[in-house]
């Protein structure tokens, strides 16, 4: 495996972990604030918050 392939694989794993962490944050936040509010806090769109919330249900 080349260095480039290793870097891409590591980047993919990091992106997946980041998405999982964001999903946890979404679950916590939407219990207390609106979907739009959670999006504003996390600096992502309310549509993305809703998508993550529906996946984790």
DSSP state of 57: -
- For the chain, what are the domain ranges? 3-55
CA atoms of 9 and 30, how far apart (whole Å): 32
0.85 surpassed by pTM: no
Residue 12: CB atoms within 10 A of its CB come to 10
pLDDT, residue 22, reads 96
Residue in the structure block whose two tokens are 């207390």: 32
User: pLDDT class for 56, splitting at 50, 70, 90?
Assistant: low
Q: What is the pLDDT of residues 2-55, one digit of tens each?
A: 999 999 999 999 999 999 999 999 999 999 999 999 999 999 999 999 999 998
User: pLDDT class for 1, splitting at 50, 70, 90?
Assistant: confident
């Amino acid at each position: 495996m080349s260095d480039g392939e290793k870097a891409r694989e590591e980047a993919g794993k990091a992106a997946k972990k980041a998405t999982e962490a964001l999903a946890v944050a979404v679950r916590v936040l939407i219990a207390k604030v609106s979907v739009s509010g959670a999006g504003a806090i996390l600096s992502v769109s309310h549509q993305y918050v809703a998508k993550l919330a529906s996946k984790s249900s």
